[in-house]
Amino acid sequence: MKKQSKYKEVVSYLKNGIESGRFPTGSRLPSIRQLSLDFHCSKDTIQRALLELRHEQYLYAKPQSGYYVLEQGQHQDLEIEVTDEHASAYDDFRLCVNETLI
């Protein structure tokens, strides 16, 4: 059986923690440095996992403060038609709008 990558391991750990209530809504997650020590991996690996969780709307970031847990099921995405060539920019924009509305 193939071992899960560190990146996926971090994503799974944080998702499970959020869904189980170990990390309640509004709580600050451990720092990137602390998570990298806990998982014995680089800070880049942790940042990649946190970015994925931001895109999946589990977390939001506060500059110079850290990552915080979003309230699950209490926000809605804006529905806008986009073409494939603009999808990446649209996804970034939608994420920013959703974080601003929190």
Nearest C-alpha neighbor of 75 from the set 52, 95, 92: 95
Structural domain count, the chain: 1
Q: CB of 36 within 8 A of CB of 45?
A: yes
* Residue span of the structural domain in which 58 resides: 6-73
Structure confidence at residue 81 (pLDDT): 62
Show Cβ contacts of residue 53 under 8 Å, excluding neighbours closer than 6 positions.
11, 14, 15, 59, 67
The confidence score (pLDDT) of residue 22 equals: 95
Grade residue 75 by pLDDT with cuts at 50, 70 and 90: very low
Q: Is residue 64 situated within a structural domain? A: yes
Instruction: Give the phi and the psi of residue 91 in degrees, each rounded to 5.
Output: -60, -45
Q: What is the pLDDT of residues 21-42, one digit of tens each?
A: 999 999 999 999 999 999 999 9
Mean pLDDT, to the nearest integer, of 67-93?
68
Overall average pLDDT of the 43-62 stretch: 93
Write down the residue that tokens 């709008």 correspond to. 97
Q: Is the pTM of this model over 0.85?
A: no
- Per the domain annotation, does 18 fall within a domain? yes
